[in-house]
Structure 1
Amino acid sequence: MNILLTSAGRRTYMVDYFKKALNGNGKVFAANSHFSPALNVADDYVITPLIYDENYISFLLEYVKKKDIHAIIPLFDIDLPILAKSKDLFKKNGVIVIVSDYEVTQICNDKWKSYNFLVQNGFNTPSTYVDLKKAKNAVEKGFLDFPVVVKPRWGMGSIGIYKADNLLELEVFYQKVKKEIEDSYLQFESRAELEQAVLVQEWVNGQEYGLDIFNDLEGRHLKTFVKIKTAMRSGETDSAITENHTELQNLGKKLSEKMKHIGNMDSDWFLTEDKIYILEMNCRFGGGYPFTHLAGANLPKVLVDLLNFNSYEQEDLNFEDGLKMMKTIRPLKIVEK
């Protein structure tokens, strides 16, 4: 079995994990719109058109046919809805795209839709406003207190996230985030509703947790993995401690059953003195997954086994409690293929 990781970027570890999962019975290919570290460690790679290029899907389809690739796993939020729309096309050509349904990717990528989905399904989530006037009105009436978070509605990583402590900062940061959206790749997601592309959100002060909520290929919950985030860097978890937290595990299962996503979902949660809040969801392998993997779980192998045998080994969902971990920086020598 050959697997293609799209928008692979710097995620060399995901290439390594899938290589080990295949155990010599297939190759791991990596794709990106420019040369990146993950391409350097893959068995083979390809430079693709930009995700929003009209030829992106046809390019990938031709490539997977040429390389006899059996499954595609996207690793970047913007890639998810594009590939989700084309799942049936790839399936007709014998290729499984491990991505959630289009509607699910929209709920996760659009933080305003995320907010409404979570409220409608009974989850605690920070109060959120998509209209600056309504946010200011909420402040004046005492429904929203400073500080507040100003961030992109279609946001990824740490782009354009600011903490505003008063009305003046709220006005300034709102315009600044809007400008950063227009000047970055976030413009592609936001351009249809640019006047409602910035969110104002309640500030939640508490301990941050990261959950990997893992489903099978039919959207059935298999297990939720809980990690305390002890340090962050550029929007990704930099160090973490695993924890057997029953309440969060149950909430992860509840979210899985409501969302019915495919494969892994990376999600951010906050624990305050009296509540558990969910902040965001990303229906893909996130930057915190390596900690789940180091703690004993092997979700790439589970996916490979599900693709090959429609079953998996329970031991690949093991998870060690109380394990402290952190990321490091490793230089790579570029290898010409």
Structure 2
Amino acid sequence: MKILITSSGSTTAISVAKALNLSSIYKFILIGTDIYDNFTIPSPIFFKKIYKVSKYFENNYIQALIKICIKENIKYIIPILDQEIEKITKNIDVFKKNNITVCSSSYDTVAGCNDKYVTYLKLKNEGINVLKAYLPKELNKVKKYIKPPYFIKPRRGVSSIDCYKVDSFKELEILIKKIDEPIIQKALTGKKYVLDVLNDLNGKNIIVVPREEIDSKAGVGIKTISFNDKDLIKYGKRISEALKIIGPANIEIFREKGHIELIEINPRFSAGTIATVAAGVNTPEIMIDIFLHKKIDKKRLEWNSNLYMTRYWQEVFYLNNKMVK
């Protein structure tokens, strides 16, 4: 079975590719796309072929993906980058007309999750405990109701870009002018957790696998430990169903003294997906079965708590545009 994975050079795409290559059920043939030449990224190790494509906002992006799928006889596409997912799901009918299944939530869900303020309002209206978020026009309320430190980030940002902990209101007033469409919240402390989530085609939760993020670099967990906690699992299930997630999502939270606060939800696989796979649940493989309308055996949802993961760099070398092994 051929699968197309976008942004193949990213940590998340490689994590998903590793998981699919570990499948004991299917022999997946992975085709990737990326904006960079394949001799400048490490992903050729995990993919049979990689196509260079334009950036997601360029006019020919969608047609380029469809052309690749038709040429390679690909029926399933797993979008990886947040903005790509939004663009692809917005054009989901075009893919359907070409018998290509986009393994993702709906456009409305994706666009809502990618806007952190919209997510906050949606979950608040659902009666779910979420950290209060303020817009720049509400600075007077921030000063009145929140004691520093503050946390400021773009409402439509990705990774940890332009995210700052701010120690004074004066500093906040300066930074708020430098960030595109920011939201302001109380700076959180305590332990950070990532909840890997998988829902069925009706938005009903199948599994939540929490892990504590002990250390991270550039928004990617490099030291984590799987953690079986009923409260975290219940919280992840409730959020994923409230937002009508289909397929994968990852939910980032802080917990301090038993109190859970949402950081954000990403309607896609996490960069640490492989940690959940190693714990016992191959979520990318199971997701394919979900989109194939197959029943999921409960044994495939059993996983090990307290599995510690640590990561390291691995070099890939190219000589005259060819990989040197």
Instruction: Report the TM-score when normalising by structure 1.
Output: 0.88
Q: 1:200 to 1:92 in 2, by over 3 A?
A: same
Deviation at 1:281, TM superposition (A): 0.2
Deviation at 1:8, TM superposition (A): 2.1
Match of 1:164 in 2: 166
Query: Which residue identity does 1:46 align to in structure 2?
Result: Y
Matches within 5 A, 1:266-277: 266-277=250-261
Match of 1:96 in 2: 101
Q: Which moved more, 1:315-324 or 1:77-86?
A: 315-324
User: Higher RCO, 1 or 2 (CA under 8 Å, sep at least 6)?
Assistant: 2
Residues 213 and 264, structure 1, Cα contact 8 Å, conserved in 2: yes
Q: 1:202 to 1:65 in 2, by over 3 A?
A: same
Deviation at 1:15, TM superposition (A): 1.7
Match of 1:44 in 2: 49
Q: 1:313 to 1:103 in 2, by over 3 A?
A: same
Secondary structure of 2:317's aligned partner: coil
Match of 1:84 among 80, 89, 107: 89
Identity between Structure 1 and Structure 2 (%) = 28
Match of 1:306 in 2: 290
Q: 1:49 to 1:22 in 2, by over 3 A?
A: farther
Match of 2:110 in 1: 105
Match of 1:189 in 2: none
Query: Which residue identity does 2:138 align to in structure 1?
Result: K
Structure 2: gaps of 5 or more residues: none
In the aligned structure 2, how far is the partner of 1:309 from the partner of 1:112? Answer: 33
Q: How many residues get paired?
A: 316
Q: Which moved more, 1:276-285 or 1:82-91?
A: 82-91
Residues 109 and 282, structure 1, Cα contact 8 Å, conserved in 2: yes
Q: 1:117 to 1:223 in 2, by over 3 A?
A: same
Q: 1:247 to 1:26 in 2, by over 3 A?
A: closer
Secondary structure of 1:21's aligned partner: coil
1:222 aligns with 2:227: no
Match of 2:186 in 1: 202
CA RMSD of aligned residues (A): 1.9
Deviation at 1:255, TM superposition (A): 1.4
Q: 1:27 to 1:203 in 2, by over 3 A?
A: same
Query: Which residue identity does 1:138 align to in structure 2?
Result: K
Q: 1:57 to 1:72 in 2, by over 3 A?
A: same
In the aligned structure 1, how far is the partner of 2:211 from the partner of 2:128? Answer: 19
Secondary structure of 1:310's aligned partner: coil
1:124 aligns with 2:129: yes
In the aligned structure 2, how far is the partner of 1:41 from the partner of 1:22? Answer: 16
Deviation at 1:70, TM superposition (A): 1.0
Matches within 5 A, 1:136-175: 137-141=140-144, 143-175=145-177
Deviation at 1:101, TM superposition (A): 0.6
Match of 2:10 in 1: 10
Secondary structure of 2:299's aligned partner: helix
Deviation at 1:14, TM superposition (A): 2.0
Deviation at 1:30, TM superposition (A): 0.6
